[in-house]
Amino acid sequence: MRVLSHPATFLYVELFAASCCARPCTVLRGAGGALRTQTRAAAAITCADGGCHQTQDQQVQLAAAAMVNAQRANLCRGLSLGLLPALEALARAAARGQPTVEQLVAGGLTPPPPVFAILAGLTHWEMIEHVLLAAPLQQVVPFVVSASKLGRRLVVVMTRPIKHGSKAHRKAALLALRATSAQVPPLEFLMCLGEASDDGSSCGGGDGTDLFGGAGRCADSSAPAAAQQWRAQQPGARKREQRAELVSLLLASWLPGGTSQAILAMGQALQSRGGEPADICTDTSTAVLEWVPVLVLAHLLALERGDTKAVTEWKAFIVVDLNIIGLLTCSYRPGDLREHEERAVACAALAVSAAFPDVMRGQEGQRLRANLKRQLPQPVCQWLARVWEAGEAGAGACVEVLVGLRRSAGHWEEPVGAPVKWDVPPPDDVALLPTPAEVRRRLGLCASGDCVEVVGDSEADVRLTVVCRGCRQARYCSERCASKHRETYSRRGFTAC
């Protein structure tokens, strides 16, 4: 609890906010030099020829340019001073000193305890997007993992069922859910892969290779020598590869967390009979479901390449880590779903049903079918019924859906005769994504997505001492993580390696 009351806590949060998208006055104070330069340039344009001929739109554009440059200068200065490692250390200290529900309730929830502000600041996507793109990968990787661990630990503890839970306990659970409600990156973030180039945009420098080093860590030494030589000769390609690893790491760390949060929020919504927990449940599940067709497309592209390892790992991530059945089940809103929510559920249900027909045939799948028939419009239900058919008719419908998904990738208009409008990025961008399991191996992270080990001030301090007895490639920080990973996968009919 000491870290949550230390003055440095609020200093880090203020510095983080000033570096990202904080109040304009904070940004302007932090980067006065850049602002003065822009002001002089604006004055030279405004008073050219002895008069002021600026329109209001031009003034707004100049002011916006000044703000962007000031914000960028402030961000780069913060990163050069070690902002991201300091924030990571803060997140891990907050996770280690995490209070119980009873302690929070006893201390009072008005105003909310600082741990919720820390969690919201470190996982709110709009605040951290620019930081993740500007910082060197060797700082971004441990920060992303540590922030996801803090969110997972806090939400699970705060939403744990308590016998004779009071109104204060429900408020603590709502505060935790609210703090992590904006952590799922939007689908548009994948577009940054096409824009990545070796332009030196990273404020911190570094190429992100050999991220942690030391015993128990491994670089991507499995790549052939020809591939490594090609990377060295193609700096722009290496930049895109690093961006792809970052996107895949975010998916591996935060999408499963979003699923867990949505399911826990549904439990709170059932207790409180709707209200804000129901909104958080639907909003979070919708944000995760928008990624599902992209993940299915990545699975299809791996199938086209003949990469059987990636095919298996993408399917395992969607079915097990993302818990797609539970995610689709908790996508509800009292009354009717909004249009974009309905589209996200329909696209995800069609893509998963067509790519993995076996997933929908179990007991859970049968219950999900009944729920989807009540939620979705009649045309989509008719397509789902065709996909769910047994025999050649169902197989033909599955192929038709997947071919439509493949052809629609990168084309944002709705194809004629398609069951839904597929909002899927171009295949070239999706094909760059390594599987979440692969990116964990490359970056030297614990192979278990449920790992919550927070020893030390950085993820680099976590030693991977347990090697998978099957593949001899996956590494874990403890035998507990390894056994839990194996059990979770075996329950769904998969192997963890």
Write out pLDDT tens, residues 300-335.
Answer: 999 999 999 999 999 999 999 999 998 998 876 656
For residue 189, what are the β-bridge partners? none
Distance between CA atoms of residues 196 and 69, nearest Å = 20
Question: Mutual orientation of helices 125-134 and 114-123 as an angle, nearest 10°?
Answer: 50
The residue with greater pLDDT, 248 or 189, is 248
The residue with greater pLDDT, 406 or 58, is 406
Mean pLDDT in the chain? 76
Is residue 321 within 8 Å of residue 436, measured between CB atoms?
yes
Position 473 scores a pLDDT of 81
What are 101-110's contacts with CB under 8 Å, separation 24+? 101/157, 101/158, 101/160, 101/162, 101/169, 101/172, 101/173, 103/1, 104/158, 104/172, 105/166, 105/168, 105/169, 105/172, 109/168, 109/171, 109/172, 109/175
Q: What percent of the chain has pLDDT over 90?
A: 20
Per residue in 110-151, pLDDT (tens digit) is 777 788 888 888 888 887 888 888 888 889 999 999 999 988
Indicate the DSSP class of residue 219.
-
Chain centroid to CA 117: 19
Distance between CA atoms of residues 461 and 445, nearest Å = 11
Q: Is the pLDDT of residue 414 over 60?
A: no
Position 194 scores a pLDDT of 58
Position 264 scores a pLDDT of 84
Return all residues near 201 (Cβ < 8 A) that are at least 6 apart. 133, 134
- Give CA torsion, residues 57, 62, 64, 67, to 10 deg: -160
Q: Is the pLDDT of residue 491 over 70?
A: yes
Q: Work out the pLDDT band at 50, boundaries 50, 70, 90.
A: very low
Per residue in 447-473, pLDDT (tens digit) is 998 888 898 889 988 899 999 887 788
Position 234 scores a pLDDT of 54
For residue 466, what are the β-bridge partners? 476
Position 195 scores a pLDDT of 59
Q: Work out the pLDDT band at 6, boundaries 50, 70, 90.
A: very low
User: Lowest mean pLDDT: which of 34-43, 303-312, 407-416?
Assistant: 34-43
